[in-house]
Structure 1
Amino acid sequence: MSIPVVDFSTYSLRERDVPEEQLQKLAEELKKAFVEIGFVLLTNTGITQEEVDQVMDISLKFLLQPNELKKPFIRQSFPNNLNHGWVPMETEKLSPKRPADLKEAFNTASFHPDIKWPSSDAVKGFKEIHTSFFQRCKELSLRILRVMALSLGLDPDVFLRAHLLIGTDENATTMRSLYYPPVKTAKENQLRCAEHSDYGSITLVFQGSDGLEVCTRTGDYISAPNVPGAVLINIADLMQRWTADQFISVSHRVLLPTAGFHSTRQSVAFFVHPDNEALITSCDGSNKYPPIKAGDYVTQKFNESYKQN
């Protein structure tokens, strides 16, 4: 089994006013991928490799700086949005069965005017590049959510109405620039990124190299390859609840590099969440899961993954 590849050119960011009948084939392909494996590789989305390279380059310049230069931007130091900012190595613990992850990140989660951004000459343009790429990912996400609704025979705007506040502090959508440094030593059972499922609606992942693995319905892990120009999309927990398990949110991980091979890895992940006050209920009316506010769910998950390690 492998991750399906779907051509998104019909509804790419370059297209406008696409008739819904033209989206039907695309909807069927996405539905098949999300029902069977929970992941898909989208090509021809309208987001260019040059845009991806630009945000990865400026992120790496920031993350390779000494920790004392990153500390002023540490996560939880911005009162209006505690998820915004720098996440140091071994801060996040995505599996209770493993030590904290061997990765660091910068979370772009707020555009509040009080937010302080990296602005030294070494990372010139950091805010502008991250803001622009966030907006591009938002636009693509909304298109994907619309096609997903069509694929289930729902009102095409049903998911969009719960994502009106992306980019504000009333919505937890976050763009994470992730860096996995060379691994010289590791604790027992430690991974670069432990097995986990994502929390929100969908996630967009732009990979700089291979390394991500996805758990199939049979329990086997398969590679989610890096395909230049493609965007890896996966279903997250709230979307699985929303669709009463029609779309599946599956576990994925990043292993340590091969013994003796001290490679690095970079990725940018755009975690799409419904608005904090959106009440997530099964869209088929089955009440398979109890209703929950999106903000309450993500807060619960953050408390688990960022508790004292």
Structure 2
Amino acid sequence: MDSAVPVVDLGGWRTASAAEREETAAALDRGLRDTGMFLLTGHGVPETAMQELRARGREFFALPSEAKRPYAIGAPYESGWLEMHPGGGVGVPRAEGAEAAAPPDLHESFYSGPSYRSGDEALDRYCYPPNRWPDGELPGLRRAVETYTDHMRRVAQALNELFAQVLGLPGDFFTSRATRATWTQNVSWYPSLASVGTVASGQLRNGPHTDLGAFTILSRQLGVGGLQAWNETAGWFAPPHRPDALVVNLGDLMERWTDGRWRALRHRVLAPSPSAPDEELLSLVFFYESDPGTRIDPLSPPVGGGAGLEPVVSRHSVLAKLGVHMEATAFPA
């Protein structure tokens, strides 16, 4: 088992002996302390659901810009289409210490979220924005997303239970705070070098960053210009790839919740390479948070890491990092 990126068999974990669980938990804890990432097998997500969403996503991205523009995102918290401007790209929040003036990223994405509505206009606007589906052009996209995200929500709750067990917390510590969790399903297309023409100096498909939520579940494709992760020991490295595995990486909220015991994964996606000019990749990225009004109180030692981080309100923290500043009291628990 790679200490930087351990592999956890979710099905095996459920049937493991106490000794086997202890060994797996120790390896997972080391990987989350050092890097913030692991591979998840035994998750039960059908390959057909991944293939279908990728196929429908490719159809959407292949549409002319004029057809996609009615679904364009106008604010950081909205669902819809995030455009990649010709010769430019898109901007994302950078990790601390990253080059602020780095060229914009070379990808475009389609975002969707929960269909839940609270009845509170402000809460729904910023936490559960309405999805905008291209039903007229591609009715299959909505069906594919909803089928896939049903699996992601199931896996997310299983991960919440796993994390609580590894930390020695009550089994419902995280699940009880995720009954109406905010999340975003992102279908991201990384175009080929042949299609974008040129790449600016320092330009990447996705620049160095950490994710803003509790954790992210990723279905990735292996590529020359693909995913890289970072830790102090290895610097930037290509994480292992297994066709049957999902990638799980921790985000800022989980690092805060564990008071620095576990780290948010710093990662990036490399630029399209001249050695593979026709390579294009499509990632399925499920960003998961918690109930929007959850107060993230850093756990005390010995469970927490003792970093002395300050409490935050879950959705308030995420929106603030997107440049949307609201009172924390706007998000009731």
- After TM superposition, the score normalised by the length of structure 2 is 0.80
Q: Secondary structure at the match of 2:147?
A: helix
Map 1:51-62 onto structure 2 (within 5 A): 51-62=49-60
Q: Deviations over 1:274-302 (max 9, x none)?
A: 22211111122658111111111111222
* RMSD of aligned residue pairs (Cα, Å): 2.4
Contact 2:80/2:131 (<8 A) preserved: no
Letter in 2 for 1:66: P
Q: Which residue of 2 aligns with 1:180?
A: 190
Map 1:152-301 onto structure 2 (within 5 A): 152-166=167-181, 171=182, 173-183=183-193, 184-210=197-223, 211-218=226-233, 220-262=235-277, 263-284=279-300, 288-301=308-321
- Kindly state the Cα deviation for residue 103 of structure 1 after the two structures are TM-superposed: 0.4
Letter in 2 for 1:94: P
Q: Which residue of 2 aligns with 1:10?
A: 12
Map 1:58-77 onto structure 2 (within 5 A): 58-76=56-74
- Kindly state the Cα deviation for residue 25 of structure 1 after the two structures are TM-superposed: 4.8
Contact 2:297/2:312 (<8 A) preserved: yes
Contact 2:93/2:322 (<8 A) preserved: no
Report the Cα distance in structure 2 between the residues aligned to 1:66 and 1:240, rounded to whole angstroms: 40
Letter in 1 for 2:29: K
- After TM superposition, the score normalised by the length of structure 1 is 0.86
Tell me the percent identity.
24
Q: Secondary structure at the match of 1:245?
A: coil
Which stretch of structure 1 is more off in the superposition, 194-203 or 36-45?
36-45
Q: Which residue of 2 aligns with 1:86?
A: 81
Letter in 2 for 1:272: Y
Q: Secondary structure at the match of 1:33?
A: helix
Q: Which residue of 1 aligns with 2:126?
A: none
The runs of at least 4 aligned residues of structure 1 exceeding 4 Å deviation read 18-26
- Kindly state the Cα deviation for residue 45 of structure 1 after the two structures are TM-superposed: 0.9
Q: Secondary structure at the match of 1:53?
A: helix
Report the Cα distance in structure 1 between the residues aligned to 2:10 and 2:110, rounded to whole angstroms: 28
Report the Cα distance in structure 1 between the residues aligned to 2:116 and 2:166, rounded to whole angstroms: 35
Report the Cα distance in structure 1 between the residues aligned to 2:81 and 2:17, rounded to whole angstroms: 41
Which stretch of structure 1 is more off in the superposition, 179-188 or 267-276?
179-188
Contact 1:180/1:192 (<8 A) preserved: yes
- Structure 1 pair 49/299, CA: closer, same or farther in 2 (3 Å)? same
- Structure 1 pair 160/261, CA: closer, same or farther in 2 (3 Å)? same
Contact 1:238/1:280 (<8 A) preserved: yes
Contact 2:49/2:147 (<8 A) preserved: no
Q: Secondary structure at the match of 2:208?
A: strand
